[in-house]
Amino acid sequence: MISPVLILFSSFLCHVAIAGRTRVCPFAGILENGAVRYTTFEYPNTISFTCNTGFYLKGANSAKCTEEGKWSPDLPVCAPITCPPPSIPKFAKLSAYKPLAGNNSLYGGKAVFECLPHHAMFGNDTVTCTQHGNWTELPECREVKCPFPSRPDNGFVNYPAQQVLYYKDKATYGCHDTYTLDGPEEVECNKFGNWSAHPSCKASCKLSVKRATVIFEGERVTLQQKFKDGMLHGQKISFFCKNKEKKCSYTEDAECIDGTIEIPKCFKEHSSLAFWKTDASDVKPC
Ligand SMILES: *[C@@H]1O[C@H](CO)[C@@H](O)[C@H](O)[C@H]1NC(C)=O
Ligand SMILES: *[C@@H]1O[C@H](CO)[C@@H](O)[C@H](O)[C@H]1NC(C)=O
Ligand SMILES: *[C@@H]1O[C@H](CO)[C@@H](O)[C@H](O)[C@H]1NC(C)=O
Ligand SMILES: *[C@@H]1O[C@H](CO)[C@@H](O)[C@H](O)[C@H]1NC(C)=O
């Protein structure tokens, strides 16, 4: 007869024998496009997984070596992150797009949009395939109209003969004789439904001074020759003045602003008959 004590004892011995054998799982130290963290591949250790940028873990992020010497759950793989073709915003078209994974794009892939004519873009023209497998925010294309530009006083403006003026349409300005354009010759309808500038025509200046040597654009010129037809808006000259005490000369600036120029108070005009007087422009500078 076998005593119950003996049965218990032999069962105990068996357990000790199993525990003494090391159970090893298959090598799992490499994960393509990722990394494995482990100490050993023996029961009952757990190993963990991460994927490189641009890849996602397909499967669990850790696995345990079981008593049977198997990984549980199954080992994962690192699969490339892809984005489906981006949707096209209204009134836009793709200007650059190259899917590299069949019809899909890989992580970091880009698509560039442009708006249809008459439409302006709000947002970034470039979208990028993100780590979530979606695209960054799409831009918006909106139809933009500009009002007809108004004719400047003493000048004219030309623009396309259309019912409506749209984004990127251009207008050109000019001025009548003796008037000078203040602003660019060409303006453009911008994305805010506004013209890039509003040029105007400014009057020339008649000079009250008959004779003087002045400095214009760094050179000595005679007023009566250089500006016999007056000065244009925006032109600047420097007059010579005398410092009586120190017997030397200095200059003061004057600018023609829309028909008006202020002659420096220190400037003294000599009659052409007063030949014995030395002009300020011939006196040594202070
Ligand atoms: C790409 O898209 C086209 C048209 O939708 C389809 O016929 C084709 O099977 C797709 N190719 C892949 C690799 O998915
Ligand atoms: C548009 O997006 C690209 C990449 O997505 C970025 O490099 C660029 O700086 C963005 N431009 C603007 C104006 O935000
Ligand atoms: C992309 O997906 C992420 C995660 O689901 C989300 O938070 C994000 O808002 C999405 N981006 C866009 C532009 O839809
Ligand atoms: C248009 O331009 C004018 C002058 O440059 C400015 O005052 C106005 O705010 C602009 N309007 C819009 C809608 O941008």
CATH number at residue 57: 2.10.70.10
Q: Are residues 245 and 270 in the same domain?
A: yes
Mark which of 64, 80, 96 sits at the end of a domain. Answer: 80
- What is the number of the ligand 4 atom nearest to the C-alpha of 190? 14
Same domain membership, residue 274 and residue 223 = yes
The verdict on 275 and 264 lying in the same domain is: yes
* Assigned domain for 13 exists: no
Can you name the residues that pair with 269 across neighbouring β-strands?
none
Exposed (0-12), middle (13-18) or buried (19+): which is 256, by Cβ within 10 Å? buried
* Within a domain: 238: yes
**Residue 12 located in a structural domain:** no
Separation in Å, CA 165 to CA 37, 148, 186, 188, 217: 64, 7, 15, 10, 40
Protein residue whose Cα sits closest to atom 13 of ligand 4: 192
Provide the domain limits for residue 115.
Answer: 82-143
Q: How far is the CA of 95 from the centre of ligand 2 (A)?
A: 16
**pLDDT given for residue 21 in this prediction:** 64
Question: Residues 237, 269: one domain?
Answer: yes
Q: Residue 60 falls within a domain, yes or no?
A: yes
Q: Judge if 274 and 260 occupy the same domain.
A: yes
Q: Is the CB of 103 under 6 A from ligand 1?
A: yes
Ligand 4 centre and the CA of 162: distance in Å? 22
115 and 174 together in one domain = no
**Structural domain contains residue 52:** yes
Q: Answer yes or no: is 99 within a domain.
A: yes
Predicted local confidence at residue 12, as pLDDT: 38
50 in a structural domain: yes
Q: What is the pLDDT of residue 276?
A: 77
Amino acid at 92: A
User: DSSP label at 23?
Assistant: P
Do 246 and 185 fall within a single domain?
no
Pocket of ligand 2 (CB under 6 A): 124, 126, 128, 136
Question: Would you say residue 261 lies in a domain?
Answer: yes
* Same structural domain, 184 and 244: no
pLDDT tens series, the chain, 286 aa: 444 444 444 443 333 344 556 789 999 999 999 999 999 999 999 999 999 999 999 999 999 999 999 999 999 999 999 999 999 999 999 999 999 889 999 999 999 999 999 999 999 999 999 999 999 999 999 999 999 999 999 999 999 999 999 999 999 999 999 999 999 999 999 999 999 999 999 999 999 999 999 999 999 999 999 999 999 999 999 999 999 999 999 999 999 999 999 999 999 988 777 777 788 989 999 9
Same domain, 217 and 278: yes
Q: How far apart are CA 66 and CA 149, in angstroms?
A: 81
129 Cα to the center of ligand 2, angstroms: 13
Q: Is the CB of 134 under 6 A from ligand 3?
A: yes
pLDDT at 248: 95
What would the DSSP string read from start to end of 36-99?
EE-S-SBTT-EEEEEE-TTEEEES-SEEEE-TTS-EES---EEEEPEEPPPPPPTTEEEEEE--
In a shared domain, residues 131 and 150: no
Q: Provide the number of structural domains found in the chain.
A: 4
pLDDT at 188: 98
